[in-house]
Structure 1
Amino acid sequence: MILVLVEVSLTGEAVENSLEAITFARDLAAAGGGIPIDAVVVGVPGDDVVKALAEHGVRRVHALTGPAYDAYSGAAWAAGLMAVREKTGSVVVMASGTPRGMEVLAHVGARTALPMAANVVSFSSLSPFTVTRQVVGGQAREEMQLSQRPALFTIAGHAVQAAPADAPGTGELVEETPDVADADLVARVVSSEEPEPDLSGSLKSARVVVGAGRGAGSADGFGEILELADLLDASVGVSRVVTSLGWRPHHEQVGQTGSRISPDLYIPCGISGAIQHWAGCSSAKNILAINTDPDAPMVTKATHAVIGDLHEVLPAINEEIRRRRG
């Protein structure tokens, strides 16, 4: 059986990355002859979550309940996940490659002395179990064999597109109350705050993203960028230097330490394309780079490029869009 850790958002929905992990698990299950897929969630999920998981092929939803799970703790979640794994005899334990997914699976690997493959994008064999994963910030890929059981790994964001199953699962809800040692609660979330509203929309799910880097010049240099985003109904994404300088809020950051995006179109303006930023945008289907440097990494990797100052290029683009729309 395959066991997938599923995260639930603050608004009570299964996060997209977790649904991607379940979609990946379905391919793995099919290759193994149709083995079942179970999910583990923390807390009792709402009906919409259970329904969504069933639609994506989950047979049973194990809900970790009890005071130990009231606040996030990587060690406590790992203890609960291990308890469900031992109960079900799962041969594969996986999660999405989110910060929490990575932390929990790393705890599981350390406790069981099992190797854990991070940022997996595909598998090529079940015997031996062989996966391909992203390394060096997504710049390279390596093949890895997981010969021990259970096989532990996380799925890179957007490695697959989440999609409902042709044959939905039953989504049976089972509450679990595994014991958690006091030592597992030493590090836990004690408070949380709502992020600033993302006025540009959901960055990770956006179909079009307009990006900006140091080339914007200053916090006041985003006028044309925000205008283009508005004209294209796009989200705004920025490089790390922009957030470090305080020009834009952190939730707009794209990159290894920010959001990983996979839009149909990404328009990076004045972004050199350092490896850390590329790790967050390499899944974009099309990239239109605007930069003064024809040899910038972002320009050389882009689908299309315009060589010029964004403050001269963008006004022309915006004007043309308005003209064509009448």
Structure 2
Amino acid sequence: MKTFAYLSAPDVPSAVRAISTEPGAKFLGGGTNLVDLMREGVEAPDTVIDITRLPLTGVEELPDGGVRIGALVRNSHLAANQLIRSRYPLLSQAILTGASAQLRNMATVGGNLLQRTRCLYFYDSAAACNKREPGSGCDAIGGFNRGNAILGASESCIATHPSDMAVALVALDAVVEVESVRGTRRIPLVDFHRLPGTTPQVETVLEADELITAVELPPLPLAATSRYRKVRDRASYAFALVSVAAALEVEGGVVTGVRIALGGVATKPWRAHEAERVLLGAPATDESFRRAAEAELAPAVGRSQNEFKIELAQRAIVATLRTLLTEGGAA
């Protein structure tokens, strides 16, 4: 591991001043991803700015019925929070499927949004990876790509985004609040992560000197009937092959509200806009669910070992919506 300088920020203004004046600096929250990347030599910051003392650990109800989540809230605390469990159950479910209890006790909300891909070639310094070393190529395209993306990929990168929590937050119309010396900025989470294009090393729209301070969830009554389904190779501590975050509202047998996001299949947390468009106003039936799933996966491109994800994602969408219809209280 490269030698680095260490700073501890006592408050948000100090943190953003430090990141704006220290070249090659990185924020350190829970460290569950950054420290691993530093050990592997993928990340090599000149300065680490410890932000664990910042007052960003609250979960509070907003006047409009939404919820504001501090960026340093631990994943385990967020999953157990009663506001989250009652109003946004898919978020609690997503977090609990996301990692071991030990990691959830350390990982933070802000860090979860910024975690980097678990593509095997990204971690392998002997492999070509445009995300790790721009211009070097992408060995995953012709290599072992079973876990890689079928949506949002490019010829430069087919790495999936690893987060479960971010998939649920995208489905819930979350907004990310960030701070810099220039002031505060609010970014819809659906626009926060970038598609790889020809610059897969640029993963978000966050500027280098910006700090995530909070995530806000809008009041969303239909989210009370929601579910997170994760399909993986083993039942514990495995990244998703396919995951579905969904909320459903049905009146008189017709879909009147729906939110769907996918994980494990795309280069960013994937909001299923086309599936939602097909479903809204349609009969709440398996036929409608299948038609919506097929429409969403129509642009998918499978590689040598991950083409199965196309059908698996369709089936997971249908199964999740069916569960919400029959067991989740949609009427």
Q: TM-score, normalised by structure 1?
A: 0.28
Q: TM-score, normalised by structure 2?
A: 0.28
